Amino acid sequence: MQTPEPLGGTRPTSRDVARTAGVSQATVSLVLGDKWRGRVSERTAGAVRAAARELGYRPNLAARNLRLGRTRTAMLVVPALTNEFFAHVYTGAAAAAARHGFGVVLYPSPDGLGPARDPFASAQAALDGVIASSMATGALEAFRGTDLPLVMLDSDPAGPGAAAHVNLDVADGMRRVTDHLLGLGHRRFLHLASAAPSWTFDVRAATLAHALRGTEVRTERSPLNVADAWEAAGRALDAPGPRPTAVICDDDILAVGVCKAARRLGLRVPDDLSVTGFDDMALATVVEPELTTVRLPAEEFGRRGMEALLAVLAGERPRPDTLPVSLVPRGSSGPAPAA
């Protein structure tokens, strides 16, 4: 009643462990840090471990981080949490990190694909490095004035400021999509692009434009969610003039919106309209017919990103790397309807 002692009192420190084990604090640190090969006797080490267990000792991470000058923690910055893709990137990064005793903190950039404001004010954890995935052009700004090593995923390898780059071969992915559709006889296209400015989407657009030169291509932009994509696609498909026979989307989410719009307009997929996605998330197999899409190795992507960061922290300078992607043909794409 007098001193409430909030929740179980105060935590035991290494000094407490030392006292109950009858040794000095330094010995505790050596034993618990596994650096006692020939410095501490077997029985003393046992006594220390027993005391630690008895007291329920847990090292104070803040103190350790302060002493060591590193935290063994990385931050993964992602533009959105509602996009399943980033969940897989995180999984891969976290797995790779764990193998090296690292933890990964997830920081969803609050502005969607916009610049990350002040990631360090929000994610208060001290960090060894940052992995930024598919951030918007200019999101880098938030990291200026910082000496934290930065690994960029899916961003311009020629861009400044990053210690390492890992990319997906989205250009190849887009080429596979256009080859596929051209082979099916399509000549009038709608490109439903992401409204967020980002290098990865710029590459897709440029590749598409080059691969489809000589055909008819319209472009519409939409934020990465079903409702907006639905509306944007409805607008574009209902426009005057000859209707596109194929819609190429920058993301599965957009493609799902297109499928909804097509249904609303009475267009059958793929008989009247072919639709392709990008990412090959679970969402791609939810719609009927299932989406033809580009499979991205998301977990591998996260893993490589983390490995690149670890390499940077080890003083290396990893080469920019590009991961292969593949086309997954499914029911949403078919021969162009007879003119």
Q: Which of 1, 2, 3, 9 binds a second copy (CB under 8 A)?
A: 9
- Kindly report whether the peptide bond that precedes residue 108 is cis, defined as omega within 30 degrees of 0: no
Q: Which of 7, 27, 182, 246 binds DNA (CB under 7 A)?
A: 27
**Per CB under 8 A, does 161 bind a second copy?**
no
Residues forming a β-bridge with 192: 220, 249
In the bound complex, what is the minimum distance in angstroms from residue 14's beta carbon to DNA?
3
227 binds, among DNA, a second copy, none (CB under 5 to 8 A by kind): a second copy
**Per CB under 8 A, does 328 bind a second copy?**
no
Q: Which residues contact 27 (CB under 8 A, 6 or more apart)?
A: 18, 21, 40, 44, 48
By beta-carbon proximity to a second copy, the closer residue of 40 and 131 is: 131
One-letter-per-residue 3-state SS of 39-98? CCCHHHHHHHHHHHHHHCCCCCHHHHHHHHCCCCEEEEEECCCCCHHHHHHHHHHHHHHH
For residue 86, give the nearest of 223, 279, 307 by alpha carbon. 279
Build a one-symbol-per-residue string for 29-48: x at contacts with DNA by CB under 7 A, - elsewhere. Answer: xx-xx-x--xxxx-xx----
- The pair of structure tokens assigned to 52 is 């630690």
Q: Which of residues 130-159 bind a second copy (CB under 8 A)?
A: 145-149
> Cα(293)–Cα(177) distance, rounded to whole angstroms?
8
**Number of amino acids touching a second copy (CB under 8 A):** 60
> Cα(321)–Cα(319) distance, rounded to whole angstroms?
6
Q: Mark the segment that binds DNA (CB under 7 A) among 57-65, 135-143, 148-156, 175-183.
A: 57-65
Q: Which of residues 106-135 bind DNA (CB under 7 A)?
A: none
CA dihedral 26, 28, 30, 31 (to 10 degrees): 160
289 binds, among a second copy, DNA, none (CB under 5 to 8 A by kind): none
For residue 181, give the nearest of 22, 17, 28, 327 by alpha carbon. 327
Contact residues for a second copy, defined by CB under 8 A: 4, 6-9, 11, 56, 58, 60-63, 65-66, 71-73, 80-82, 84, 86-88, 90-91, 94, 98, 102-103, 105-106, 108, 110, 120-126, 145-149, 163, 225-227, 256, 260, 263, 282-283, 285-288, 315
Contact residues for DNA, defined by CB under 7 A: 10-11, 13-15, 23-27, 29-30, 32-33, 35, 38-41, 43-44, 57, 59-60, 63-64, 66-69
